[in-house]
Structure 1
Amino acid sequence: MNINKFISNIFIKDEFGRHELNACNFIEGYGILGDLKGGTPLKEIVLYISPNIPNSNNNGLCSKKFKPNIIINNISISEFKVNQTINIGTAILKINQIGKKCYKECSLIESNTLCPLKTNVIFASVIKSGKFEKYKKEN
């Protein structure tokens, strides 16, 4: 499945902080070139499916520190399955996990509130290196 047209934002974290990119290089077995979070087995790339990123307003335990690499809009999480491959530019990623595990200490769990990270997060690995340039919308 090619998801290029659904990608709205791409981020990396380097020694200077978090930065949005218009283009990136995916490195097999690592993640996005220049990303300090890269190299984590099975979680090299973190994708978030939603028009709204969780923030500190929802008071979840992970909300403040959650920073996805890629934000995807206008596609349902139901389109994705574990072990599925997705194409981003010339790179190929493999989905390893859908949904982030929750902690019982989280106030959202305690208040029986559904956390968007439990359902709208995808963890993936780069199985073929490649390049991506963010989709350009025509005026």
Structure 2
Amino acid sequence: MGKIIAVCISERKGVQKKSVDEGIFIEDFGIQGDAHAGKWHRQVSLLSHEKVVAFNELGAGVESGAFGENLIVEGYDLKNIPVGTVFKCNDVVLEITQIGKKCHNGCEIFKKMGDCIMPREGIFARVLNGGTIKSGDEIVIKGE
């Protein structure tokens, strides 16, 4: 079982996401108000809380949303969750569609640290069922 540490959105692409009190997840679209939402396979991005903490211990000093992640999740090593895995949080159901991504040029974190964890640690999902998620909510792999 895992726990949602933060829900983050950005109103436009190319900027860091900001923590919000709760996210409204829309089936087959993503999070309401997030610039990366849409009818594609990367509607929601997830990153392991433990990986963010470890990166910050190296001096990164990043806050929730800095990597462009929508959900920071504690309790799962997300990069080792296979594509096709289904997570459930409240009424929201997410299906993992991609692990990792190519980092865009000019990432501020990479410029500062010489590294960025999102390309290898971040995972992506599509929304199978909508609902609301907020910090502190429990998230589980369906069938666990």
**TM bracket, shorter-chain basis:** 0.5 to 0.7
State the match for 1:130 in structure 2.
Answer: 131
Query: TM-score of the superposition, structure 1-length normalised?
Result: 0.68
Work out the CA distance in 2 between the residues paired with 1:29 and 1:97: 15
State the match for 2:142 in structure 1.
Answer: none
Maintained 8 Å contact 2:23/2:32: yes
Maintained 8 Å contact 1:48/1:72: yes
Assess, with a 3 A threshold, how the Cα gap between structure 1 residues 33 and 9 changes in structure 2: closer, same or farther: same
CA offsets, 1:32-85, max 9 Å, x none? 111122105000001112432768x77xxxxxx841111122322365210111
Displacement of 1:99 in angstroms is 1.5
Work out the CA distance in 2 between the residues paired with 1:18 and 1:119: 19
Query: TM-score of the superposition, structure 2-length normalised?
Result: 0.66
Runs of 4+ in 1 over 3 A off after TM superposition: none
CA offsets, 1:85-108, max 9 Å, x none? 1012211011001112358xx9xx
What residue ranges of structure 2 are gaps of 5+ in the alignment?
A: 61-65, 108-113, 138-144
Maintained 8 Å contact 2:17/2:70: no
**1:15-34 aligned within 5 A:** 18-34=17-33
State the match for 1:109 in structure 2.
Answer: none
**1:1-139 aligned within 5 A:** 3=2, 5=3, 7-14=4-11, 18-39=17-38, 41-51=40-50, 52=52, 66-77=67-78, 80-101=81-102, 115-135=116-136
Work out the CA distance in 1 between the residues paired with 2:42 and 2:118: 14
Identity of aligned residues (%): 27
Answer with 1 or 2: which has the greater Rg: 1
Letter in 1 for 2:45: V
Query: How many residue pairs end up in the alignment?
Result: 119
What residue ranges of structure 1 are gaps of 5+ in the alignment?
A: 59-64, 107-112
Maintained 8 Å contact 2:17/2:69: no
Maintained 8 Å contact 1:47/1:69: yes
